[in-house]
Amino acid sequence: MSLLEIEAINSFYGDSHILFDVSLHVEQNEVVALLGRNGAGKTTTLRTIMGVIAPGSGTIRLDGKPIQGRPPYEIARMGMQLVPEERAIFGALTVEENLRLAERRRSGGRSLSGGEQQMLAIARALIRDARIILLDEPFEGLAPLIVRDLVRVSRELAAQGRTIVVVEQNVVAALSFADRVYVLNNGHVVFEGTPDDLHRDPAVMKAHLGV
């Protein structure tokens, strides 16, 4: 039994069908990357897993327990945390109020750089003792040096045995610490395999990732 199992989920925004029978699984202590072009359905997949969007059909299991249809706060209590693309930092609160962090704990959330905000958002998920962390575009809009630091942190988390699902446009960064990869296109899973498998399939890289 996988830690996270998604079976044939279909998700909608109003009348728009976004995910089509998407299935994937994530093992304990594994890092899985969801890749694809803008609009491929990656963020919708994370939001559906986290309960932000209720799937129209399909099954989602966390540690064997069905979670589809549950509200996000219940899913969070079961051990899953979403770090959204917008980071959801409370800018009017200090770092300490966001997190209770010793270093820079008196700094206001708005005073942090984009990279520091991302670190804070990830750390906030960690202190909740999440069994699985969903990262949505963690490197978006950040300078290359900051991306390098965040990749290092992500690798360290993976080395510590954290289970991570990462959605990312930066293919090189995501593949540098992922164990397995799913590629989505127009709401369909079009590839599943290891980073090495993906590198050996240039047609998929070019058609769906622009690499």
Kindly tell me the burial class for residue 206, based on how many C-beta atoms sit within 10 Å of its own C-beta (0-12, 13-18, 19 or more).
exposed
- CATH architecture under which domain 4-209 falls: 3-Layer(aba) Sandwich (3.40)
Predicted confidence band at 165 (pLDDT cuts at 50, 70, 90)? very high
Q: Give the three-class secondary structure for 206.
A: helix
Question: Which residue's entry shows tokens 């990312």?
Answer: 168
At 61, list the tokens: 């299991």
- The residue count of the chain comes to 211
- State the pLDDT at residue 125: 59
- Tell me the three state secondary structure of residue 172: helix
CB 119 within 8 A of CB 111: no
Is 111 a residue whose pLDDT tops 60?
A: no
User: Comparing 68 with 86, which gets the higher pLDDT?
Assistant: 68
The domain locations on the chain are 4-209
Q: What is the predicted pLDDT for the residue at 142? A: 75
Q: How far apart are CA 165 and CA 33, in angstroms?
A: 6
> Is residue 18 a contact partner of residue 9, using CB atoms and an 8 Å limit?
no
- Residue partners of 108: CB distance under 8 A and separation at least 6: 91, 92, 93, 94, 95
pLDDT in tens, 55-81: 999 999 999 999 998 999 899 899 998
